[in-house]
Amino acid sequence: MTNQLTDKFNRKINYLRLSVTDRCDFRCLYCMSEKMTFLPRKELLTLEELQRVGEIFISLGVNKIRITGGEPLVRKDIDQLFNALGQNAHLKELTLTTNASQLKSKAPMLLESGVKRINISLDSLDRDNFKKITRTGNLDQILENIRFASGLGFEKIKLNSVLMKGTNDHEIFPLIDFALENQFDISFIEEMPLGYVKHDRDKTWIDNDQSLKKIQSKYNLTRSTLNTGGPAKYWHIDNTQTHIGFISPHSNNFCESCNRVRVSCKGELFLCLGQDEKIELAPLLRKYPSNDEPIKRAIINAMSIKPESHEFNLNEKQPAVIRFMSHTGG
C-alpha cells in the first residue's frame, strides 16, 4: 500500500498502536491508580470497529500494528480481532504488548494468527517485589506462562522493564540474566509522567544513560543496528542472542523519528502519547458504516496536528498528561 500518512515534519507514519481495552488485571505502580475507574463497556469500540480501524490504517500505508491495552488479552473474544487482522496480506507485522497473565491460554491463537513477536512487561523476578509493583500479580504464574509461550516457536520474545529507583533498580542484572537464559531481548523504559500516581516520578525515574553504564560494567555490549519499528535503541550482548534496548523519552528524546500514532479503545486517534491532540473516530465509524472515505480523510488530515514532540517534565507535580497509559494504549 502507498503510504498516505506524512505529518508536517515530513515523518511518515507506518505504525499503529491499537488499544482494545483500558482494563487490566494488574495495577502497576507507574501505570495505574490502585483504585481505577474504567470506561463503561458501551463506550468501547466493538471488535468489528477495531478491525475496521486497523484495515483503514493499513489501506493508508500502515504496515505494523501493535495490539495494546490495558491488558489486551483480557478483552472478550479478542481472538476474533487477531485472526482478522492477521489475514491481511498488506500488514507486515501484527504484534502485541502483554503482561503475560493470559498468555498460556492465548499464545497458540496468537501464533496461528500470524503474530511472530510479542513484548512482555516484566519489572521484577522477586515474588514479593513483583506483587508490590503490580499490586495483584502472581510471579510464578507469569513465569510459567512465559516459558510456555517461549516453547511454542515465536520468532522473538522481548521483555519490557520500567526501572524505578528504590523499587526494582537492584534487579537490573537478574532481569538481563533471565533474558540471556531464555534468549529473549529486553528493553528498559524510562518512567513517563502519565496519570496521577502516589509516588514522585522525579525521585523514582532512572536515566537510561546511567543504566547503560551500569550494564556495561558487567556485559560486553556492541551498538546494534536492530530496528523493531519503535523508539528503542539497541545494544547487542556479545556472543549471545540477546539485545538490550533503551526507550528514553527523557534522556534521549526520540521524537524526530516518530513513525507512530495511537487509537484508544474508545476510538480516539492520539497523535502523540505525551500530548492531548486527538481526533474522535468513533462518531465517523458509526455515521458512515459502509463508507471508509470520510474516516480516511479525517486520519490524513489529522497528520497536520501531530506535534513535533512530547514535553515531559518530571519536576512538575502535575503529570504531563492526565490520562493514564492504560487509556491511551501503551
In the chain, domain spans? 15-328
Q: Is the Cβ–Cβ distance between 124 and 133 less than 8 Å? A: yes
- Tell me the per-residue pLDDT of 107-155, one tens digit each, with 9 for 90 and over: 999 999 999 999 999 999 999 999 999 999 999 999 999 999 999 999 9
Q: Which of 310, 323, 324, 318 is nearest to 231 (CA)?
A: 310
pLDDT at residue 285 in the model: 98
SS3 (DSSP) at 189: strand
Give CA–CA dist 171/179, Å, rounded: 12
State the alpha helices, DSSP H only, in 113-186.
127-134, 139-150, 172-182
- The mean pLDDT value for 205-219 works out to 93
The angle, 0 to 180 degrees and rounded to 10, between the axes of the packed helices 103-112 and 139-150 is 20
pTM (global) more than 0.85: yes
Q: Which of 257, 258, 259, 251 is nearest to 312 (CA)?
A: 251
- Tell me the per-residue pLDDT of 15-65, one tens digit each, with 9 for 90 and over: 999 999 999 999 888 877 777 788 898 999 999 999 999 999 999 999 999
Query: Residue type for 245, please?
Result: G
Would you place residue 313 in the very low, low, confident or very high pLDDT band (cuts 50, 70, 90)? low
Terminal-residue alpha carbon distance, the chain: 26
- The mean pLDDT value for 296-320 works out to 74
Q: Is the Cβ–Cβ distance between 112 and 70 less than 8 Å? A: no
Q: Is the Cβ–Cβ distance between 183 and 242 less than 8 Å? A: yes
Mean pLDDT for the chain? 89
324 has pLDDT over 70: no
SS3 (DSSP) at 7: coil
Q: Would you say how long the chain is, in residues?
A: 330
Would you place residue 253 in the very low, low, confident or very high pLDDT band (cuts 50, 70, 90)? low
| From 8-22, 183-197, 266-280, the region with the lowest mean pLDDT | 183-197
Give CA–CA dist 205/69, Å, rounded: 23
| From 15-19, 108-112, 156-160, 255-259, the region with the lowest mean pLDDT | 255-259
Phi, psi (rounded to 5 degrees) for 242: -100, 135
Q: Is the Cβ–Cβ distance between 125 and 171 less than 8 Å? A: yes
- The mean pLDDT value for 190-216 works out to 75
User: Is it true that the peptide bond before 245 is cis, omega within 30 degrees of 0?
Assistant: no
- The mean pLDDT value for 5-10 works out to 94
Would you place residue 322 in the very low, low, confident or very high pLDDT band (cuts 50, 70, 90)? very low
| From 155-159, 162-166, 250-254, the region with the lowest mean pLDDT | 250-254
- The mean pLDDT value for 201-208 works out to 77
**CATH classification number, 15-328, choose in 3.30.160.270, 3.20.20.70, 3.40.50.170, 3.40.640.10:** 3.20.20.70
2 has pLDDT over 80: yes
215 has pLDDT over 50: yes
- The mean pLDDT value for 299-310 works out to 87
Strands 185-189 and 221-223: unpaired
pLDDT at residue 314 in the model: 54
Phi, psi (rounded to 5 degrees) for 175: -65, -45
pLDDT at residue 321 in the model: 47
| From 73-77, 123-127, 258-262, the region with the lowest mean pLDDT | 258-262
